[in-house]
Amino acid sequence: MTTDLSTCVMIERKALVKALERIVKLIPQRSLKPVLQGVRIEASQGRLWLAATDLETSLLMHLGADGELARCVVPARELLNRVKASRAPFCELHGDKNVLVVNGGGVEHRLNTLPVAEFPLIPQRAEGQVICVSAGPFREALGTALAGVAETSTRYAIHGVLLEVADGVRLVATDGRRMVGVELRGDAGEAGSCQAILPPKLCKLVRQVVDKNDESTLNLYVKAAVDTQDPEPPELYLAGAGWLAHCRGAEGNFPMWRDIVPRGGSRFMVSRSELLGVLREIAPAGSGGRGVRLRLAGESSTVTYRGPETGESTGRVRTRFMGGGDSLIVTGFNAAFVIEALATLPGDQVVIEVQQNKPSTHDSVSHLPALLYDWPSRKVSWVIMPISLGLPASPESLGSNYKATA
């Protein structure tokens, strides 16, 4: 049978496999609408276009290709499996009535198409205020921010990552027990400040589409809702090299995160790798959620887990006191939170900044949140809420806040 070259497209097979592998990450495994499990394909003017959506997020990609192909929709995972199984360097696609014919060499595959008219509309171009960032670093920043995202939104926690443009570009996320902030190198032009909450699904999609070492520019567009009486979240577009993602921002109001950041506390510098190693040895003992005791001191700090029945585990790390308050502070944290924070900080010098404990009721002490950041860049910072150790009031537990009683 002779193929009509006007409806045939030739494309490099490995490039198509890579694009389809990214596309299927967005497509749901199950859907009441079969067309949502499909990928829309068309080719013209030297490009093959692939589109997919789950009705909340869409992804449009294009690849270099020779030939033309009328728009059609085929099951995405089935197409990926067929193309991936081939060993030929190039893949040929052409339409035959209600079938997409895939020829990758010695085997010809015929995939039944889905109704094109039922495939949802997908934005073809971005709109709104644009913020330019470097793709690779933005991908890594999203990975760090996702570690602090809440599973559900509450008053003090948001299921999403705040993108903020104000005196720079940054990402912030919190689950109510910890908060992470990542400073980015970006250019918002003269458009002014803006905020949007990036849904986790969009963040994960970007991490799948962008390579770690990608040095290209990624453009983020924020299009605010027109109706100011009952405003909806803004529309978000992310445009990279050969792809465009779109969704609406997550609902909710992000907490006033600057009010949460501790200020004016004692500063202790430690080796990130050294503290991380000690915590990872001690953490299994404290995996029951009781947390660890951290005794921060001038030259050496102690990390301790005490089990009511299992005993005690203790480790020490070298410390440099950098001023700001008392040179001895005893506090407690969830070990898993500290480990996760340390794992995201760049470099090996880390500063732990925390205020001295305060007197509480019944002759006990109240611990305060700690700020952890890499030194000296402060590119990534974490605020971690403390856990109660049940310490009695004493000169060691309260330091300069201790007041002797009669």
> Residue 190 has what pLDDT?
63
CATH number (1.10.1740.10, 3.30.420.40, 3.40.605.10, 3.10.150.10) of 5-118 reads 3.10.150.10
What angle, rounded to 10 degrees, do the helices at 13-26 and 200-209 form? 170
Domain-wise residue ranges, the chain? 5-118, 129-258, 261-401
Give me 109's structure tokens.
């595959």
Architecture of domain 261-401: Roll (3.10)
pLDDT at position 134, please? 94
Distance (Å, rounded) from C-alpha 249 to C-alpha 163?
10
CA–CA dist 187, 293 (Å, integer): 42
In the numeric block, the tokens 């949460």 are attached to: 260
CATH assignment, 129-258: 3.10.150.10
Is 261-401 in the same CATH topology as 5-118? Answer: yes
Only one residue has tokens 């996702």, namely 146
In this prediction, residue 289 carries a pLDDT of 54
Q: Indicate if the pLDDT at residue 311 is higher than 50.
A: yes
Determine contact, residues 67/131, Cβ cutoff 8 Å: no
Task: Please determine, for residue 29, whether its predicted confidence score (pLDDT) is greater than 90.
Answer: no
For the entire predicted model, the pTM comes to 0.88
Query: Which of these ranges, 48-57, 239-248, 287-296, 302-311, has the smallest mean pLDDT?
Result: 287-296
Q: Can you give the pLDDT at residue 45?
A: 93
Check: CB of residue 134 under 8 Å from CB of residue 212: no
Rounded CA-CA distance 297/268 in Å is 8
Residues in the chain: 406
User: Is the Cβ–Cβ distance between 178 and 382 less than 8 Å?
Assistant: yes
In this predicted model, what pLDDT tens digit does every residue of 185-238 receive, in sequence order?
877 766 678 889 999 999 999 999 999 999 999 999 999 877 666 678 999 999
Alpha-carbon distance 341 to 337, whole Å?
A: 6
- Pairwise CA distance, residues 323 & 231, whole Å: 46
